[in-house]
C-alpha cells in the first residue's frame, strides 16, 4: 500500500472543480475544505479514473475537445434533428441494427464515440462488445450495408476527435 504512488492530479482537479462548482462560491473556507476532500479522494482512488496524468494537462487535447463540442452540438445536432424531424412527417425509415468497428484505443475515447452516437437523433448504441472493439448501433435509416459507408454516416468525425482527445 503506497498511498502517494496512487495520487493523481487529474482526479484531484475533477473532484475539486466539482466541489467548488456545486458549492457556488470560492471563499477561503471552500478552497481549504475542497482541497482536503479532493486530496483524500485522489489519494484513495486516484488511478481509478485517470491512468495517465500527463494527458490531462496537454492543452492540445483540451483544444480539440472544445472544437469537437462546438462542432458537435451546433452543427451535427442541428443536422440530425432536422433529418429525423423530416422522417417523422414523411415516415421514410429503414430501421436496422449495424455493427461498427472502432479504431480508437482508450476506454474514454470509445465511450465518447458511443455516447456521441447515442446523443444524435436517429442512432442509438445498443451494445458494445466486451473488448470494446465493436459497437452495435440501431440506425433509423440503414441506407447502406458497406462498412465504410456506414461508418461515414453514423460515426463521421467523432472518432478523429475522440482519438485526438484521449488516445
Residues contributing to the site for another protein (CB under 8 A): 1, 11, 14-16, 18-19, 22-23, 30, 33-34, 37-38, 41, 45, 48-49, 107-108, 110-111, 114-115, 125, 127-128, 130, 132
In the complex, least distance from residue 25 CB atom to another protein, rounded to whole angstroms: 9
Rounded CA separation 115/110 (Å) = 9
Q: Which is nearer to another protein, 29 or 57 (CB)?
A: 29
Q: Which is nearer to another protein, 94 or 105 (CB)?
A: 105
The dihedral sign for the CA sequence 140, 143, 144, 148: negative
158 burial type by CB count under 10 A (0-12 exposed, 13-18 middle, 19+ buried): buried
150 contacts 135 by C-beta, under 8 angstroms:
no
In the complex, least distance from residue 71 CB atom to another protein, rounded to whole angstroms: 22
Q: Which is nearer to another protein, 40 or 82 (CB)?
A: 40
In the complex, least distance from residue 137 CB atom to another protein, rounded to whole angstroms: 13
In the complex, least distance from residue 82 CB atom to another protein, rounded to whole angstroms: 27
Q: Which is nearer to another protein, 52 or 149 (CB)?
A: 52
Which residue is listed with cell 485526438?
164
102 burial type by CB count under 10 A (0-12 exposed, 13-18 middle, 19+ buried): buried
For residue 104, the number of C-alpha atoms closer than 13 Å in the C-beta half-sphere is: 22
H helices of the chain, where?
9-23, 28-49, 53-56, 59-70, 77-90, 107-119, 147-154, 158-166
Q: Which is nearer to another protein, 98 or 114 (CB)?
A: 114
In the complex, least distance from residue 92 CB atom to another protein, rounded to whole angstroms: 26
Amino acid at each position: 500500500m503506497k498511498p502517494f504512488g496512487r495520487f493523481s492530479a487529474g482526479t484531484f482537479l475533477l473532484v475539486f472543480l466539482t466541489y467548488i462548482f456545486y458549492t457556488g462560491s470560492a471563499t477561503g473556507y471552500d478552497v481549504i475544505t475542497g482541497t482536503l476532500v479532493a486530496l483524500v479522494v485522489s489519494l484513495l482512488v486516484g488511478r481509478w479514473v485517470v491512468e495517465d496524468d500527463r494527458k490531462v494537462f496537454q492543452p492540445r487535447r483540451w483544444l480539440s475537445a472544445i472544437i469537437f463540442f462546438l462542432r458537435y452540438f451546433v452543427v451535427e445536432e442541428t443536422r440530425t434533428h432536422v433529418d429525423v424531424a423530416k422522417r417523422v412527417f414523411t415516415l421514410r425509415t429503414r430501421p436496422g441494427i449495424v455493427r461498427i468497428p472502432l479504431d480508437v484505443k482508450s476506454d474514454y475515447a470509445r465511450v465518447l464515440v458511443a455516447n456521441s452516437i447515442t446523443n444524435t437523433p436517429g442512432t442509438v448504441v445498443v451494445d458494445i462488445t466486451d473488448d470494446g472493439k465493436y459497437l452495435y448501433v440501431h440506425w433509423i435509416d440503414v441506407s447502406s450495408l458497406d462498412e465504410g459507408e456506414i461508418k461515414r454516416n453514423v460515426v463521421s468525425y467523432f472518432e478523429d476527435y475522440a482519438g485526438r482527445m484521449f488516445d
